[in-house]
Amino acid sequence: MSKIPYFDAQPAPPEAGRFGWSHRHVGNADVICLAGELDHDAAAELRRRLMSVAASSAAVTIVLDLAEVSFIDAGCIRVIVELRTRGDKKLEVDGLHGIPEKVFQILGL
């Protein structure tokens, strides 16, 4: 669980076939709130956005808030693991529940 304080930032509601995304700076962290379904169609865009934040930010930590995510597939998990293994940022994941939480548990993440 992240130690980043909660703030009033909700992800933009996802359009049909897309996922929601919001990005805020909180202290030494970039907090990224995601919403909707992180499926095969979302993986490339998720990767582009996450790697862009990781490459351009001076923040020490990236927090992924998945509280509004209802589904996540292997391709998007792969993107998150890739972000974690970059090694230049600490990665924290908050808000896991339902199917995404089960997927993370099964994979030992």
Give the CATH number for residue 25: 3.30.750.24
Compute the 3-state secondary structure of the chain and give helix, strand, coil in percent, each to the nearest 5. Answer: 35, 30, 35
Q: How far apart are CA 85 and CA 99, in angstroms?
A: 23
pLDDT at 15: 53
Residue 33 lies inside a defined structural domain of this protein: yes
Residue 40 lies inside a defined structural domain of this protein: yes
Domain span at 46: 20-107
- Inter-residue contact 88 to 54 (CB < 8 Å): yes
Residue 15 lies inside a defined structural domain of this protein: no
Mean pLDDT, the chain cut into blocks of 10 residues (109 residues total):
49 61 94 94 94 94 96 95 90 94 91
pLDDT at 96: 95
Determine how many CB atoms are found less than 10 A away from the CB of residue 17: 10
Q: How many CA atoms lie within 13 A of 34 on its CB side?
A: 29
Residue 11 lies inside a defined structural domain of this protein: no
What's the total number of domains in the chain? 1
pLDDT at 6: 47
| pTM as predicted | 0.81
The 3-state DSSP class for residue 84 equals helix
Residue 3 lies inside a defined structural domain of this protein: no
